[in-house]
């Protein structure tokens, strides 16, 4: 089996690891590398010459074929969240200029010549545009090159001793870095068999029989609450947690139930994964390990302080926010380091990093999803009955943080406002609780005093 163009991200598709009928399993459907390549080539032929293309990125073989097809064609893929409402979907399509495609996995283009007009993504070429929230405004498109993806996956393969011997299991969404880059392209680069469980339920993880498992902390805490499911993972080689902080009690429960100490890694859409624990290395709960090969980090701390903003450089960084040079420039320090906005500390003895929190109260992580408070506030203010809105993330045992909206409104229920956000923006961005207040407390500048709201809430 040979492929066209630069498929450096997709080593498995070059035939290096052989092929098998069930090389890839997604939500109960299986495919060989050859099947995948045929479907991806059909996508590549369809999108050749486009500026970018989008599809609704369900957990399916179709989404896998779209991601691979984009790389074959050298055309960036914009995965649309399947639960996105019309406002969010329209924003992503308008902002990216992507052409919407339908993918039929049964339609294969199996010739050996390159589909007409396709070039293959070179290392400098944009491969993915992933939309992610800032503290204010609508989500921005994060442009990731094929070279950055390859550099990150190789660094992770080294850190986790991840190889074609592995069976990777996860059930994460395929429109973010965790599920799509690590969870799909990672399997195609290392040659490990992939089992995507459709949903990341404890039962599905337990039944999958993998050697390597990925999850966000919410997934791990749900598994830890089901001892039988957790025990079924004891034959695995490595459990990896990321996208948000893994609570220490969950770490200890997993260790007790599986005999494995889960490895944590840290990353962002803009930087990919940059810091991680190592397979076979010492792992301490509450820490995210050391920088991956090629990554340099520093802590921008006040004199005498040990914690400060984590800043970094390396080959895995994004190529910028699509069409927003000012926002891109603002994400870097004057001397060219990327500002993560995360507050961290580094153990001087062994360089192990600990993420202490976020610099901004307006950046929320719920179930591993990054959600900007401003985006939810704007969505709520679009409702005719709402005159003021302030959104916070409060600690939540299941989700890490859950979205709570404080609103000034009359003649509407909390459930109606939740549904309004779920329907317009996306289901996973909906407030889990709406509190009606007579006024949002503000400072002299008119800025909502969110610390006060959190105190009122009792969080």
Regarding 418 and contact with ligand MCA (CB under 6 A), the answer is yes
Whichever of 172 and 373 has its CB closer to ligand MCA, that residue is 172
Tokens of 59: 């957990």
Tokens of 286: 């509450």
Task: Please check whether residue 366 is in contact with residue 392, taking contact to mean a CB–CB distance below 8 angstroms.
Answer: no
Contact code string over 263-302 relative to ligand MCA, x by CB under 6 A: ----xxx---------------------------------
Regarding 170 and contact with ligand MCA (CB under 6 A), the answer is no
Regarding 287 and contact with ligand AMP (CB under 6 A), the answer is no
CA 221, CA 201: separation in Å to the nearest integer? Answer: 11
Choices 133-141, 216-224, 255-263, 372-380 (CB under 6 A): range interacting with ligand MCA: 216-224
**Shortest distance, CB of residue 211 to ligand AMP, whole angstroms?**
21
- Binders of ligand AMP among 356-415, rule CB under 6 A? 358, 365, 370
> Which one of residues 367, 372, 374, 448 is an interface residue with ligand MCA (CB under 6 A)?
367
If contact means CB under 5 to 8 A according to the sort of partner, which of ligand AMP, ligand MCA, none does residue 340 touch?
Answer: ligand AMP
If contact means CB under 5 to 8 A according to the sort of partner, which of ligand MCA, ligand AMP, none does residue 291 touch?
Answer: none
- Binders of ligand AMP among 233-272, rule CB under 6 A? 242-245, 264-269
> Which one of residues 69, 70, 139, 173 is an interface residue with ligand MCA (CB under 6 A)?
173
CA 199, CA 172: separation in Å to the nearest integer? Answer: 7
Choices 27-35, 212-220, 308-316, 341-349 (CB under 6 A): range interacting with ligand MCA: 212-220
Regarding 355 and contact with ligand AMP (CB under 6 A), the answer is yes
> Which one of residues 154, 342, 375, 377 is an interface residue with ligand AMP (CB under 6 A)?
342
CA 25, CA 10: separation in Å to the nearest integer? Answer: 17
Choices 3-11, 168-176, 188-196, 253-261 (CB under 6 A): range interacting with ligand MCA: 168-176
CA 337, CA 131: separation in Å to the nearest integer? Answer: 22
Whichever of 134 and 200 has its CB closer to ligand MCA, that residue is 200
> Which one of residues 8, 96, 132, 328 is an interface residue with ligand AMP (CB under 6 A)?
132
Task: Please check whether residue 142 is in contact with residue 129, taking contact to mean a CB–CB distance below 8 angstroms.
Answer: yes
If contact means CB under 5 to 8 A according to the sort of partner, which of ligand MCA, ligand AMP, none does residue 264 touch?
Answer: ligand AMP
**Shortest distance, CB of residue 28 to ligand MCA, whole angstroms?**
16
Regarding 140 and contact with ligand AMP (CB under 6 A), the answer is no
> Which one of residues 11, 197, 243, 340 is an interface residue with ligand MCA (CB under 6 A)?
243
As to burial, measured by CB atoms within 10 angstroms (0-12 exposed, 13-18 middle, 19+ buried), residue 237 is middle
- Binders of ligand AMP among 42-101, rule CB under 6 A? none
Regarding 242 and contact with ligand MCA (CB under 6 A), the answer is yes
Regarding 179 and contact with ligand AMP (CB under 6 A), the answer is no
If contact means CB under 5 to 8 A according to the sort of partner, which of ligand MCA, ligand AMP, none does residue 219 touch?
Answer: ligand MCA
**Shortest distance, CB of residue 144 to ligand MCA, whole angstroms?**
10
Cα dihedral sign for 358, 361, 365, 371? Answer: negative
Chain positions contacting ligand AMP, by CB under 6 A:
132, 177, 242-245, 264-269, 288, 340, 342, 355, 358, 365, 370
Binding residues vs ligand MCA (CB under 6 A)? 172-173, 176-179, 200, 216, 218-219, 242-243, 267-269, 367-369, 418-419, 422, 427-428, 430
């Amino acid at each position: 089996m040979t492929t066209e163009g630069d498929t450096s991200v997709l080593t498995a598709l070059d035939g290096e690891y052989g092929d098998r009928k069930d090389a890839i399993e997604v939500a109960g459907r299986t495919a060989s590398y050859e099947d995948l390549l045929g479907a991806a080539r059909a996508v590549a032929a369809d999108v050749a010459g486009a500026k970018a293309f989008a599809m609704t990125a369900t957990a399916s073989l179709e989404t896998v074929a779209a991601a691979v097809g984009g790389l074959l064609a050298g055309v960036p893929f914009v995965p649309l969240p399947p639960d996105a409402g019309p406002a969010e979907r329209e924003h992503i399509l308008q902002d990216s200029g992507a052409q919407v495609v339908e993918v039929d996995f049964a339609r294969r283009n199996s010739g050996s010549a390159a589909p007409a007009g396709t070039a293959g993504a070179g290392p400098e070429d944009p491969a993915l545009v992933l939309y992610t929230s800032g503290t204010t405004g609508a989500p921005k498109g994060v442009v990731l090159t094929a070279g950055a993806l390859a550099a990150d996956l190789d660094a992770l393969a080294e850190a986790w001793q991840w190889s074609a011997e592995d069976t990777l299991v996860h059930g994460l969404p395929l429109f973010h870095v965790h599920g799509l880059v690590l969870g799909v392209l990672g399997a195609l680069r290392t040659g490990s068999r992939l089992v995507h469980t459709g949903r990341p339920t404890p039962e599905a993880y337990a039944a999958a029989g993998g050697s390597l498992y990925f999850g966000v902390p919410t997934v791990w805490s749900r598994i830890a609450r089901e001892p039988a499911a957790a025990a079924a993972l004891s034959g695995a080689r490595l459990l990896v947690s990321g996208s948000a902080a893994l609570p220490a009690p969950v770490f200890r429960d997993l260790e007790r139930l599986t005999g494995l100490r889960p490895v944590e890694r840290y990353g962002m859409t803009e930087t990919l994964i940059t810091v991680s624990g190592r397979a076979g290395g010492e792992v301490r709960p509450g820490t995210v390990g050391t920088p991956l090969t090629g990554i340099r980090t520093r802590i921008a701390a006040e004199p005498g302080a040990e914690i400060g903003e984590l800043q970094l450089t390396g080959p895995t960084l994004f190529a910028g926010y699509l069409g927003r040079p000012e926002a891109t420039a603002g994400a870097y320090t004057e001397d060219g380091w990327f500002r993560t906005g995360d507050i961290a500390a580094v153990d001087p003895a062994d360089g192990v990093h600990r993420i202490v929190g976020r610099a901004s109260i307006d950046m929320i992580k719920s179930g591993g999803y990054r959600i900007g408070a401003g985006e939810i506030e704007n969505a709520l203010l679009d409702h005719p009955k709402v005159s003021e809105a302030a959104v916070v993330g409060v600690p939540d045992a299941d989700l890490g943080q859950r979205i709570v909206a404080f609103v000034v409104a009359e003649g509407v229920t909390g459930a109606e406002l939740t549904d309004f956000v779920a329907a317009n923006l996306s289901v996973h961005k909906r407030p889990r609780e709406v509190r009606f207040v007579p006024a949002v407390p503000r400072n002299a500048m008119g800025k909502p005093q969110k610390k006060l709201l959190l105190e009122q809430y009792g969080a």
